[in-house]
A and B are shown apart, each in its own frame.
Chain A
Amino acid sequence: DGGITQSPKYLFRKEGQNVTLSCEQNLNHDAMYWYRQDPGQGLRLIYYSQIVNDFQKGDIAEGYSVSREKKESFPLTVTSAQKNPTAFYLCASSQPGQGTYEQYFGPGTRLTVT
């Protein structure tokens, strides 16, 4: 059963701590993405990766870091430098070059930092 998994569903951290959100896909997609959703803000792109060992900053990359050591995995670290880390985080993947550009999303992780 192909898809994207994100864990955990809910995550709580104290202010000043780094936290890593997991994203795994078994769709054999080359491209992966991280978004955050805030109320009334839609989906904003944090980082994306078009191929293993390569990634680019999105629109709101400050305070975040990523790695792409394996095709199926694209973890996101929310660092203590991120001023407003509490949000709903969504991971997605796609297979560029097929002409449809559809991105498939995981179920999301709700991060709460207090």
Chain B
Amino acid sequence: DQQVKQNSPSLSVQEGRISILNCDYTNSMFDYFLWYKKYPAEGPTFLISISSIKDKNEDGRFTVFLNKSAKHLSLHIVPSQPGDSAVYFCAAKGRVTGANSKLTFGKGITLSVRP
């Protein structure tokens, strides 16, 4: 049972336009969400995160929005650049006691930014 879903496998946008990457989750116990970017044959790199007590977090060209009632989050990249072309993973952490910081990842979205 997939708890973090990235239903669109790919997205293509024009350079300079906005990229919107979506992620849905089913587990209401998730309380922290992260986005990672991954190039082929490399490890993922952290982009941006958001706690469930917030609905928006912004870092430069990247903004993450969280809609808890809909169990939905989205990553906005504006303006999009060719170097943003990569696979983007959404990840979530459950609300557990202790130091357990295990993450659950979605399957990823391949973003292509056309020059």
Chain B residues in contact with chain A, CB under 8 A?
A: 6, 9, 32, 34, 36, 41-46, 49, 89, 93, 99-108
Q: Which residues of B lie under 8 Å from residue A108 when comparing CB positions? A: 41-43
A88 to B100, CA, bound (A): 24
> Is A68 positioned at the interface, with any CB of B under 8 Å from its CB?
no
Task: Give 8 CB contacts A-B under 8 Å.
Answer: A42-B107, A50-B99, A90-B43, A101-B49, A102-B49, A104-B46, A107-B42, A110-B41
Mostly, the B contact residues are loop
A97 to B99, CA, bound (A): 6
- A31-B101, A96-B101 as given contacts; A101 in contact with B107, CB under 8 Å: no
* Cβ-Cβ contact count across A and B, 8 Å cutoff: 61
- A41-B107, A106-B43 as given contacts; A48 in contact with B89, CB under 8 Å: no
0/1 interface trace, chain A 35-60, chain B, CB 8 Å (1 if under):
10000111111001010000000100
- A90-B44, A100-B49, A105-B45 as given contacts; A43 in contact with B34, CB under 8 Å: no
| Residue in B closest to A95 when the chains form the complex, CB atoms | B101
> Is A103 positioned at the interface, with any CB of B under 8 Å from its CB?
yes
